[in-house]
Amino acid sequence: MVSFVLFTVTILFIVQLCLLSALVISKIQSLKEERLLSTYMETYEEPFFTYLERKTEEFPDLPSDIRYRVLIVERVLNRFVDQKQVDIEYTRVRKTAQKYLAHAYRLFLENGSWAQRVNTLYYIEDFDMVDLKLDVWHYFNRLSVLDEEYRQAVRVLATFQDERVIRTILNTETISQRLVKQVLRRFKEDLIQQMMKVIEDEPGRVPRQVHLAVVSFCGEKGSLDHLPFVERMLQFPSKEIRLKALRSLMELKACTHTEQLDPFYISEVWEERMYAAKIAGSLKLESAQGALLILAGDSHWWVRYAACEAMKKLPDGERLLDYTYHHHEDRFARSMARQHLTVKVGESI
């Protein structure tokens, strides 16, 4: 029995020693490769930047080892893109990436580890490797889990203006608003308009999160080209959609027909009354004075606050606030008006 225990302990010790040795050897090899790569980067970074900035037509010679060539080009292009975030002329970045990285990236997408595949997708987008769009599309169709790999594949296809992404989004019930907005920020205007048309033509089949994200995006982008779509969404049956549309209208600071706000001043939904007041203030609507006087005495604090804040923005706002303070029948309205009269510019109540 004792000999068996000693034998087991010895075997376990040998196994642990072998594992430790393997880890040490792996670490040494990794450090050696990293030092070599650092040396290569010191050698090639400046000539590469000179070429990418079109200061020379001469392409730098690279090591014969294909693995190091891939790593060097990848690191150089990544640094170049990071440091030159604006006004990059992508022609040479794209050409260099296509020449030295495309084959390796196809292999990574096909057989690489999860981390390799995700990193590859980020680089494909960063280096504008549009020639790999079809490869990314085929690869994307094999994904079934909505994780970071899936999300980045969608973002890459959106960057490359692949309109097939539209149907993918519209057929995915669990897609997040955040991802939809990321796609829209990458789309050019014609694809954004396609999304809007589908939402208007097929409202019943569009996932709620997608619908909300598109309406919200219109306000965040701030383009008046999207104003007609946002205004049409004001009539949508869903309260959530209407609220997103009102918020976007507020952010756009525009309204083609201000009378379409009238139903919202008297809405049963307090958030709609609040947004209507905010919009009236941002547009300086003198025609909304009567509605704002009523909303100043609303049962919800946020509506009262928005109404008095809107009054202050009107051309004759100080007088209207003073009238509310001295003559309004509702004591809460008088209190809110007084606070807005005494608060200084830049301060908050």
Render 70-99 in DSSP notation, one character per residue.
HHHHHHHHHHHHHHT-SS--HHHHHHHHHH
Q: Which residues fall within 8 angstroms of residue 164, CB to CB, at 6 or more apart? A: 137, 157
Residue 35 pLDDT > 70, yes or no? no
CB of 106 closer than 8 Å to CB of 135: yes
Look at residues 144, 180, 176 and name the one whose alpha carbon lies nearest to residue 165.
180
pTM for the whole structure:
0.82
CA distance 329 to 294: 10
Q: Among 121-130, 150-159, 303-312, 335-344, where is mean pLDDT lowest?
A: 335-344
Q: What is the pLDDT of residue 82?
A: 84
- Whether the predicted pLDDT of 32 surpasses 70: no
Instruction: Give residue 346's pLDDT.
Output: 47
Q: Report d(CA 80, CA 312) in Å as an integer.
A: 50
Q: Which residues of 264-293 are buried (b: 16+ CB within 10 A; e: fewer)?
A: bbebeeebbbbbbbbbbbbbebeebbebbb
Question: Tens of pLDDT along 251-282?
Answer: 999 999 999 999 999 999 999 999 999 999 99
* Alpha carbon distance 148, 134 (integer Å): 20
Amino acid (one-letter) located at 105: Y
Residue 15: predicted pLDDT:
61
DSSP letter (8 states) at residue 147: S
**What is the four-CA torsion angle of 158, 163, 167, 173, rounded to 10 degrees?**
10
